[in-house]
Structure 1
Amino acid sequence: MIRAVPTPPLLNAPVLDPTVRHLYVHVPFCPSICPYCDFHVLTRKSGQVEAYLEWLEAEAAWLASQYAVELDTVYLGGGTPSFLRDAELEALVGSIRRHLGWGAGENTLEINPGTVSPARAALWKSLGFDRASVGVQSLDDATLKFLGRQHDAAGARQAVTALIAAGLRVSGDLITAVPGQPLDSDIHGLVGLGVDHISAYTLTVEPGTEFARRGVTVAEDDERAGFERTEELLSAHGFARYEISNYARPGQESRHNLAYWNNRTYLGLGPGAAGHYPAASVSEGNLTSRRTNPHLHIWLTGEQGEAEAIDAEEYATDALFMGLRLRTGVDLADLSRRSGLDVRARYAGAIATNVERGWLELDGTWLRAMPEGWWVLNRVVTDFLEA
């Protein structure tokens, strides 16, 4: 018989920031759907973008009425936000500014290289974006063709050059472990373009994608080799790996994504957008809530995703899962203050087991993953979930 283990009582009242400082906006429209993509994306049809923009404004107004908002970061992801026409993107930014304000610290636009021109880059800068996340994926034409990308290597280079010339900080996305990919030249080429941040993701074949239907697979040896070679090369170029899949020159880390990894609250705006929200009151034992919006056609009816209440223990577990992705790890003293739990005592067994394995390191109040621990992080987190 399995006996439920009660959540330990709070040592102190949780100390969480009641103000939401981060906003994610999902733009689901793409010029085409890549064979590896499992996000909520669709090609645009007549009237869809107009309906999307109209309801986006209504949802922004509703969020503003529900939460105290003082934005530090705004992130437009997708989909392909840069696929919106200039007037459409201007309208979207206007809706955000009217109801929620704008990020005081960092504002990122996800960009497909095929949508970039010098004039458009200048427009995006004038709208208030200071950072561009560019889906380069590779600088090898054969690899890009295999990945189903619509741009070629020359187009990617021209796009990054135009964005930097417009005064934007540029992050380049790179997919690794692609069969036949010349990874070294991809990395050298991307660094040589002048980007200050690189997100390097292993090719993952998710169920329901075109790659899954074709039977594409990724060998674990190739995944591991790409994982290690990427860090080796980028470190030599002066980039520090500050998260499992993210590298930056000093001071160029993504402030928005750091909010996710540090388990902060954020608003989710648009179809398919996920949000992490402050609880109305912590007196009932819930610290925050999470909610993912439905896909476009349902979202346009005004239906919301179901909110999931997050209590102190789940909040702490989420924070460990996300924070151990960071090179700095998790400050257990700070997490105890935020959650109200004695985190170090609550997870003492899981911590000791994984320190002994060499997967985690406990340095004062800081718990961080060792390089081998990053590779098996899902197994590490399972130990905390089962604690």
Structure 2
Amino acid sequence: MSADPAAQTSPAPDVVRHLYVHVPFCPTICPYCDFHVLTRRAGMVERYLERLEAEAAQLAATYRTELDTVYLGGGTPSFLRDAEIEALVGSVRRHLGWGRLENTLEVNPGTATPERAMHWRALGFDRASVGVQSLDDATLTFLGRQHDAQQAREAVTTLIRTGFRVSGDLITAVPGQPLESDIQGLLDLGVGHVSAYTLTIEPGTEFARRGVTVEEEDERRGFEQTEALLTARGLTRYEISNYARPGQESRHNLAYWQGRTYLGLGPGAAGHYPADGGWQMADGGGPRAADVLTVRRTNPHLHEWLTGEAGEAEPIDAPEFVTDALFMGLRLRAGVNLGDLSRRSGLNVPQVYAAPIEVNVARGLLALDGEQLRATPDGWWVLNRVITDFLEVEVTGQDAAGSGSPS
């Protein structure tokens, strides 16, 4: 890997440098999907774009933005027609600016043509996350995908030729999937980044209703085989599910894993906001405003969002900031710098959390090198259990390390 992308200087705490935009529309709903998605209906996209413009203006009036990254996810952002995506980008640029380092568009292979790829590049996108999922037609059929393997190959090739940095998404642990062929085929196309996620059966999905299951041994086998195949071809596993050639890491997703603040725009979008934008709990409960470091907000789903409903706000105090940062940061190969986390949270993290650190180091689930704490491969596999040990620590007012600066 190039210079460690996880080792970055913290920006000023009142500046937000990352923006996520949710586009909920899809051509069809995949049987494994539990995101906020829906098929488009007459007039719905127009109403969505009008509300998006208003929400972008509201965010701009509340928060100071100097964007490094913008990420359009979904849903299927590339399912928007050319004029629609142009209007969306215009709203973002007018009110919030545009990413100076990276601007990502999620792309369904069936929507990518040379003409559309050039249009996306002209709008300012330079990175494409392509939902390949597999290069095996039988696996794609099982997953309910509307594209075939040839369309996926053509989409990736087209985007690379148009100048995009391309990330390919793969789903692993699918029954009968030729995983080695999928990985080799994707790398042969020239992608510099691969996101490999285990098939997960979420409640309420079509797969759950059908009784589809994933065996843990198949999940673990896919987890390990994916790493072996990708690292053998020169990609580095920089996060549990993400691999990249040097310099090809997702800068936007790194902001999530590093616990940075980011705005969420659109229905169902989540954001991690500076506390200085103001917040209130519906019941008046929660920590005092002086104790709040950041706020997590989640927008309501489309119909409520269109009416201007506010959604949910969760104030984050120092202990929760630390456990969130550990849960996200330990996903990274580089792990978390405890000194930096102490400065950002205002807690003496090595002292307050000495017991769970020592226990999990002894178990072989964590490794501590100076101030750098990271999860081992075995620790990655049971990260939820590791974080539970940290959640059980009782933090008192005597544990402060100084003034926190969370961004």
TM-score range, shorter chain: over 0.9
Q: State the alpha-carbon separation in 2 of the partners of residues 322 and 275 from structure 1.
A: 14
Aligned partner letter, 1:300:
L
Q: State the alpha-carbon separation in 1 of the partners of residues 330 and 353 from structure 2.
A: 14
Aligned partner letter, 1:63:
L
Map Cα deviations across residues 257-280 of structure 1 (whole Å, 9 max, x no partner): 000000000000000000100002
**Which of 292, 299, 305 is the matching residue for 1:299?**
305
For the pair 1:234 / 2:240, whether they are aligned, the reply is no
Aligned to 1:309: 315
Q: State the alpha-carbon separation in 1 of the partners of residues 359 and 11 from structure 2.
A: 29
Query: 1:16 Cα shift?
Result: 6.1
Aligned partner letter, 1:102:
W
Aligned to 1:368: 374
Q: State the alpha-carbon separation in 1 of the partners of residues 350 and 213 from structure 2.
A: 39
Aligned to 1:223: 219
Aligned partner letter, 2:136:
D
Residue correspondence of structure 1 range 4-43 to structure 2 within 5 A: 17-43=13-39
Aligned partner letter, 1:216:
V
Aligned partner letter, 2:121:
K
How many residues in Structure 1 have an aligned counterpart in Structure 2? 374
Map Cα deviations across residues 7-45 of structure 1 (whole Å, 9 max, x no partner): xxxxxxx99621000000000000000000000000000
Aligned to 1:190: 186
Q: 8 Å contact 1:15–1:339 — kept in the other structure?
A: no
Map Cα deviations across residues 225-249 of structure 1 (whole Å, 9 max, x no partner): 0000000000000000000000000
Aligned to 1:346: 352
Q: State the alpha-carbon separation in 1 of the partners of residues 151 and 247 from structure 2.
A: 28
Q: 8 Å contact 1:133–1:173 — kept in the other structure?
A: yes
Aligned to 1:285: 291
Q: State the alpha-carbon separation in 2 of the partners of residues 309 and 289 from structure 1.
A: 4
Map Cα deviations across residues 175-207 of structure 1 (whole Å, 9 max, x no partner): 000000000000000000000000000000000
Aligned to 2:103: 107
Q: State the alpha-carbon separation in 2 of the partners of residues 15 and 154 from structure 1.
A: 43
Aligned to 1:8: none
Aligned partner letter, 2:45:
V
Distance change >3 Å, CA 183–CA 15, structure 1 → 2:
closer
**SS at structure 1 position matched to 2:38:** coil
Alignment TM-score, normalising by the size of structure 2: 0.91
Once superposed, what is the RMSD of the aligned Cα atoms?
1.2
Question: Is 277-286 or 363-372 further displaced after alignment?
Answer: 277-286
Q: State the alpha-carbon separation in 2 of the partners of residues 126 and 15 from structure 1.
A: 29
Q: 8 Å contact 1:172–1:199 — kept in the other structure?
A: yes
Residue correspondence of structure 1 range 368-387 to structure 2 within 5 A: 368-387=374-393
Q: 8 Å contact 2:183–2:230 — kept in the other structure?
A: yes
**SS at structure 2 position matched to 1:40:** coil
Aligned to 1:11: none
Aligned to 2:5: none
**SS at structure 2 position matched to 1:104:** coil
Q: 8 Å contact 2:338–2:371 — kept in the other structure?
A: yes
Query: 1:48 Cα shift?
Result: 0.2
Q: 8 Å contact 1:15–1:337 — kept in the other structure?
A: no
Q: State the alpha-carbon separation in 1 of the partners of residues 66 and 222 from structure 2.
A: 39
**SS at structure 1 position matched to 2:26:** coil
Q: 8 Å contact 2:194–2:243 — kept in the other structure?
A: yes
For the pair 1:252 / 2:258, whether they are aligned, the reply is no
Query: 1:304 Cα shift?
Result: 1.2
Aligned to 2:49: 53
Map Cα deviations across residues 318-337 of structure 1 (whole Å, 9 max, x no partner): 00000000000000000001
**SS at structure 2 position matched to 1:234:** helix
Aligned partner letter, 2:171:
I
Q: 8 Å contact 2:300–2:312 — kept in the other structure?
A: no
Question: Is 277-286 or 186-195 further displaced after alignment?
Answer: 277-286
Query: 1:313 Cα shift?
Result: 1.0
Q: Identity rate of aligned residues, in percent?
A: 76
For the pair 1:146 / 2:142, whether they are aligned, the reply is yes
Runs (5+) with no aligned partner, structure 1: 1-13
Q: 8 Å contact 1:134–1:171 — kept in the other structure?
A: yes
Aligned to 1:117: 113
Query: 1:386 Cα shift?
Result: 1.0
Q: 8 Å contact 1:74–1:108 — kept in the other structure?
A: yes
**SS at structure 2 position matched to 1:307:** strand
Q: State the alpha-carbon separation in 2 of the partners of residues 341 and 305 from structure 1.
A: 30
Question: Is 34-43 or 274-283 further displaced after alignment?
Answer: 274-283
For the pair 1:359 / 2:355, whether they are aligned, the reply is no
Query: 1:283 Cα shift?
Result: 6.5
Aligned partner letter, 1:355:
V
For the pair 1:265 / 2:261, whether they are aligned, the reply is yes
